[in-house]
Chains A and B, each alone.
Chain A
Amino acid sequence: MMLSRIADSLFWIGRYMERADNTARILDVNYHMLLEQPPDTYKLRWDPLIAVTGERTRFYKTYDEANGQTAYEFLGFSEENPNSIQRCIVQARENARTIRDRISREMWEDINSLYHKVVRLRENEDLSRFCDAVKRGAHRFHGVCDATLARDEGWHFVQAGCVLERAEMTARLLDVHYHQLVEGPSILNEARNHLWVAVLKSVAAYEFYKRQYTHIEPTRVAELLLLDARHPRSVRFNLGALQSSLHAISGSVPGSYANEAERLTGKLLERLTYDSIEEIFDGGLHNFLTDLQSVCRNIGEQITRTYFYYAVVA
């Protein structure tokens, strides 16, 4: 027996923590890669980063130019940006606070400590330390959830929030960078390699990639990020996890669905399982990714409609 409001909060704790983590990752990796780049690539590289978070319009309302300083401020702790890392952590904590009777004491204390830490660090303004604290915080969050939450519906809602967010974020990361690197202004091959490495590193997949493939190649990077069944940040992996959690909540058996969210997840997962990367490229990667992101958004809406805000007929 779980209140809709509580399920809603758990789902969003998962989403916000994941969003903070993802933003910290791309910010951090980008920053370090650019330390070794000639200055004129700056504009090229910070602008897409803002695009990845889906907040381009809002960004240019406040700033004229995307550079290390403005991107850090906007993505790190801006009050204007509802998806800045700090806002995400504030939101995760607010959600946790409203349901702290339903989560483990450890989970609450962990989120609460992270909040206090991030608020303190902000005054310090060292990007690396800030991102590091957030990433570690997110890892600890997953650890604490795994180690202290009962595997009931609550846990599955946290999971669903995390993996849906991660799938969407990976798709968006790939979309924006692919667009820039393959279809954008020509840059040196060497620089291009460098930047694909940054993409892989930001999803912690660089080492894994190197073991699978001999050299950096956009198609293979896309293959890993989209279709790999083993890497915990690939879209397919996360949609598989989403399906398991949705089934656990509704009690559906494999191969069936109980609601629209499950149907959409199953259908998308089917494509990611049986399509080859070549087939996807034939139809246009950008089209595929646009479609994928829109289905992910729809899944989120359907989960909300099924479990959190349904019409009451007494």
Chain B
Amino acid sequence: MSSAPSPFPPDQLLFAGYDPGTFYDELIAPSGLPRPCAAAMYENFASMPLSLFEERRQLADLSYLVQGITFTVYSDGRGTERLFPFDLVPRIIPRSEWDVIERGLAQRVMALNLYLRDIYGPQQILKDRILPRNLVYSCKHFRREMVGISVPRDIYIHVAGIDLVRDSRTGQYLVLEDNARSPSGISYVLENRLVMRRTFPRAFEVCEVLPVDHYPAELVQILRSLSPRGGERPVIVLLTPGLYNSAYFEHCFLAQEMGIELVEGRDLVVADDIVYMKTIHGLTRVDVIYRRVDDDFLDPLAFRAESLVGVPGLMNAYRAGNIALANAVGTGVADDKAIYAYVPAFIKYYLGEDPILHNVETYLCSDPKHLAYVLDHLEELVVKAVGESGGYGMLMGPSSDKKTIETFRERLVADPRNYIAQPVIPLSRVPSFDPAIGGMSPRHVDLRPYCLYDGEKVTIVPGGLTRVALQRGSLVVNSSQGGGSKDTWVLRGDE
């Protein structure tokens, strides 16, 4: 680690003229110098001329293209494959900060799981009037069919993706939303790391970055433990909606990494409440399904009849206890955006603990007082539809025109239960390459760690997916809305 002066003129270097501005910058302190956690990376990157960085950037892009790491957008009617933009400057989290996040997430996932067991079981939390009954029953993703059914080892949420943001004003991490159905994005975490290691091997020699590669092994171990037949080698499959699903790459990737079969609905049949897959030598019994198909489409006999990607009879096999599903059916009643407001209360109620990670202040439009406040302050707030994800059905008050705001006002009045509102959080930022200025510029980020629950403990691969709003000034990080991603480095220590 020598600090020999760079042979390149200073104005052509990577961080030349970088101004972190008034938001919290994850890497660069207000003084313009790197934070302790970023010092080693900065030294390694800062001496790089822009031309070399640009060359590496193109190589990385090419590697994503050749591997076919793309997602599909449907706006043009044909379903075009696009690269998920990847920014080469990593987001870095010091260990002591990560330890707090990790404990906070574990606590939250445990509480959400206990809540689901309660809601689909005794419903004590409703009887104790901690949570309004109608809020649960009116939730789009509440599955009556699941009440009174026991699931293997009492696990509902095997995989959760919890979205975190750092509030620039306080420097605190906040939970923005929970994803308890089938959160996607982990394949980008693993591929981004692979590409970064290939592109900047030197940086990994000097920065002590915690590995993430063990995720598939952890997940498959949990899946294996769910098998209703037990045994050494249960048959585990990943159920995908198919090639045209936007997360199809991820489904392939995970199936391959876990060494399990990737199946579509048409590969499976149910007979006498037992699930089989069609192989070249006849039918083979299946024990565990890691499903990446939404509840609604899982079984045309139980849910939406028009579903072509599901398996007729699957719910009967599930009820009979002959097949395990991960995540369980009905977990959407835990990640509804109105239920979200009560998660701190769940932590208190089920675990008797104070929440380690706090929620963003949330107004439930189903509450008339909250609704009145929201309608008066639409220009300042973010409004979200409770059952949506991926940045759809959302109003960003401060950046919307009058017409859009008025449309939302009407929707809120017509169907208040369907909306929540939150103040706009000034998200923290990370230096990112801006092709328009040919240099580094700060961009807003969030963080989605992936949590695995095995019935006893929560395992989280260090870091997660850092999503970045690549448009200048934008606070929306979803890939469908022009966001990209970064590699996330959790360090072995604090610097």
Contacts and interface: CB of A to CB of B under 8 A. Distances in A.
A260 to B, nearest CB: 15
B279 A312 contact: no
A4 interface: yes
Interface in A108-138: 108-109, 112-113, 116
A33 to B, nearest CB: 36
Interface stretch (A48-56, A73-81, A94-102, A208-216): A94-102
A314 B243 contact: no
A253 interface: no
B267 interface: yes
Interface string B252-293: 110110000111101101011000111111011000000000
Interface stretch (B34-42, B64-72, B418-426): B64-72
Contacts of B280: 2-4, 7, 153, 249, 307-308
Given A3-B263, A109-B66, A314 B284 contact: no
B84 to A, nearest CB: 16
Given A98-B242, A101-B252, A308-B280, 9 more contacts: A1-B281, A2-B279, A4-B280, A5-B278, A102-B262, A105-B67, A109-B67, A249-B280, A314-B271
Nearest to B255: A101
Interface residues of B, number: 29
Interface string B42-82: 00000000000000000000000111100000000000000
Nearest to B282: A310
A5 B242 CA distance: 12
B66 A113 contact: yes
A1 B68 contact: no
Contact of A94 (B243, B263, B264): B243
Contact of B279 (A3, A94, A102, A108): A3
A314 B269 contact: yes
Interface string A291-312: 0000000000000000110101
B256 A101 contact: yes
Contacts of A112: 66-68
Contacts of A308: 280
Contacts of B284: 1
Interface in A84-109: 94, 97-102, 105, 108-109
B155 to A, nearest CB: 25
B243 A3 contact: no
Nearest to A108: B68
B338 to A, nearest CB: 37
Contacts of A101: 251-253, 255-256, 262
Nearest to A97: B243
B67 A314 contact: no
18 contacts: A3-B267, A5-B264, A94-B243, A97-B68, A98-B242, A98-B243, A99-B262, A101-B252, A101-B256, A108-B67, A108-B68, A109-B67, A109-B68, A112-B67, A249-B280, A312-B269, A314-B271, A314-B276
